[in-house]
Structure 1
Amino acid sequence: MASTTLPRSAARSLPRAVPSVRSQASRVATRCLHQNASPITASPLRNRPGVRQWNQRVPMPAISVGRRTMFIQTESTPNPDALKFNPNQRVLPESISSPFLEYLTPRSTLAPPHPSPLAAKLLNIDGVTSVFFGVDYVTVTKDSATPWAHVKPEIFAIINEFMLSGQIIVNTVEDKAGESGQEGTEQDSLAYDENDSEVVGMIKELLETRVRPAIQEDGGDIEFRGFHDGQVLLKLRGACRTCDSSTVTLKNGIESMLMHYIEEVQGVQQVMDQEEEIAMKEFAKFEEKLRQQKGPDAAPSAVGKGSLDTVEG
């Protein structure tokens, strides 16, 4: 019997031309599995497992709700005994024409025309001597013997409570007896007045645009008390009122600028209230006593009645 011999080239192409049975079977099986797949349906209700109610009571952990706080920025001032608190919202009501209010005694916080519950609480803190309200900040001044670490947390807490609760910071009541308990309740002393002379108008403009912003930045303000015989009468408020550097501010700063731009100005004097005048006299006596103890050649202090021209208010 004659055997048929395939050429080598034909033998190599044979597996490619004839697919294997295994590959066909897998394709058929795959196709059949896809065609015969049944959709997934929900099981009958009777075959579902029952749900038993859990009766054990689990004690809920106690949740402590803390008090809300707000961001109050604190700024130091040239006066080491005064701090400026910025609550980032308006402090003085818009109905008050004055740019500031200053409370120097607990009685002033209750007297008309602008009693203040916030100032009353702050002045009730041991060591706090005065409270100053700017348009959007509060300046608190303490005595030199009280450290800030003792009073600053309580000041923060009181201001935070008033701002968050929406309590009235400053009230306005009728002043029937003419008793003004606060400083700065009248009209803004630097406001334009048609009755002012040309020189006074120029002085007010320079104070308003060049001086007041810097003093407000330091937690205080300035009042114009008049212009007489070439002398500009001014009153510093807030942190600048009891600051040792107020002498430099008035003489080297404000006086030099006013004399440079206005030739009619010959000097600047600070108006002193009666309490401040008494304090200055007591300080002068204390300096004189120290000078006698140290000897006649001792240099006088930079702060004192003789270091700044003053007039009684």
Structure 2
Amino acid sequence: MMSISKEELQKKEEELKTLQEKYIKAKKELENYKGHNPLPDKYPYSIYSESTPNPLVMKFVSNKLLADHTKECKSIKDTGANTLLRKLFSFPFIQEIFISKNYISIKKHSSIEWHDVTNQLRMFIQDELNNNIKIYTPPIEKVKFTKNDSKIIQEINTIIEKEIRPNIQMDGGDIEIVSLDKGVLKVILKGACSGCPSSQITLKDGIMRLLKEKCPRQISEVIALND
């Protein structure tokens, strides 16, 4: 049996104590971390990819907050001051980009397969973010409604925010109210939901059914203007 000297044993105990202290510190930081707040700057960005119901769209999810507001870019002209989004459009296969709080949805051209480019894009986004490339998303200008509609719209927005938007965002998309006229609610589907083969099912069997159930007197139909 191999014997261990007193000095070696003391050294091992000190190393173990150091590791325990680091573990306790990291554990406390995780316990104090609130999901809606960004991680401290000392933590690097980590990006993972996630498929969506839209075969042309891949969702790239971050462990840290990316933006305060959503932004949809149909072309490089829509990127504004966003260096990362402009650089992403330099990839010839990228058709559209949608960014939300902690993810970027990218729509590709049908001429290329995701398995050929997903890892390349994931690493590119992660490296750019860790090189202090910031994403700026200006607040979205809210649609103005009449006084009669404002209370109803507020109720609808509350339902969307609590029961509809979280599910849509899980699939890499979003929804925006455009107008409400004589019971017809017009919306715009964004990100992965735009042009998705299953968007009509989501709209009719999910969004419209729930809104008609919650607001039967105010809503008779829901129409997506971009679908």
Is TM > 0.5 for Structure 1 vs Structure 2? yes
Deviations 1:254-298 (A, max 9, x none): 1111111212211001113xxxxxxxxxxxxxxxxxxxxxxxxxx
1:14-33 equivalence runs, <5 A: none
Aligned residue pairs, count: 183
The one-letter code sitting in structure 1 at the alignment partner of 2:179 is G
| TM-score between both structures, scaled by the size of structure 1 | 0.54
Q: 1:269 — aligned with what?
A: 223
Choose from 48, 51, 59 the match for 1:76.
51
Choose from 112, 118, 132 the match for 2:84.
118
State whether structure 2 residue 154 is matched by structure 1 residue 201: yes
Identity across aligned pairs (percent)? 29
User: Matches of 1:187 and 1:241 in 2, distance apart?
Assistant: 20
Q: 2:209 — aligned with what?
A: 256
CA contact (8 A) 1:121 1:158 kept: no
From the CA coordinates, give the structure whose radius of gyration is larger. Answer: 1
CA contact (8 A) 2:71 2:137 kept: no
State whether structure 2 residue 112 is matched by structure 1 residue 143: no
CA contact (8 A) 2:57 2:108 kept: yes
Alpha-carbon offset, residue 224 of structure 1: 0.6
Alpha-carbon offset, residue 142 of structure 1: 0.5
The one-letter code sitting in structure 1 at the alignment partner of 2:49 is T
The one-letter code sitting in structure 1 at the alignment partner of 2:212 is M
Q: 1:133 — aligned with what?
A: 99
User: Matches of 1:237 and 1:145 in 2, distance apart?
Assistant: 22
Q: Which ranges of structure 1 fall in alignment gaps of 5 or more residues? A: 1-68, 173-184, 273-309
Alpha-carbon offset, residue 70 of structure 1: 5.4
Look up the SS of the partner of 2:225 in the other structure. strand
The one-letter code sitting in structure 1 at the alignment partner of 2:52 is T
Residues 107, 128 of structure 1: alpha-carbon distance in 2 compared, 3 angstrom cutoff:
same
User: Matches of 1:199 and 1:246 in 2, distance apart?
Assistant: 25
The one-letter code sitting in structure 2 at the alignment partner of 1:265 is I
Give every structure 1 segment of 4 or more consecutive aligned residues whose post-TM-superposition deviation is greater than 6 Å: none
The one-letter code sitting in structure 2 at the alignment partner of 1:159 is I
Alpha-carbon offset, residue 75 of structure 1: 1.3
Deviations 1:53-96 (A, max 9, x none): xxxxxxxxxxxxxxxx853221111111111111211111x4xx
User: Matches of 1:134 and 1:194 in 2, distance apart?
Assistant: 30
Q: 1:108 — aligned with what?
A: 78
Q: 1:243 — aligned with what?
A: 196
State whether structure 2 residue 121 is matched by structure 1 residue 155: yes
User: Matches of 2:103 and 2:172 in 1, distance apart?
Assistant: 8
Alpha-carbon offset, residue 195 of structure 1: 7.5
Structure with bigger strand share is 2
User: Matches of 2:142 and 2:51 in 1, distance apart?
Assistant: 26
User: Matches of 2:89 and 2:159 in 1, distance apart?
Assistant: 34
Q: Which ranges of structure 2 fall in alignment gaps of 5 or more residues? A: 1-43
Alpha-carbon offset, residue 188 of structure 1: 5.5
Deviations 1:164-188 (A, max 9, x none): 111223377xxxxxxxxxxxx5246
User: Matches of 1:224 and 1:195 in 2, distance apart?
Assistant: 16
Alpha-carbon offset, residue 106 of structure 1: 1.5
Identify the structure with bigger relative contact order (alpha carbons < 8 Å, sequence gap 6+): 2
CA-based RMSD? 2.5
Residues 70, 91 of structure 1: alpha-carbon distance in 2 compared, 3 angstrom cutoff:
closer
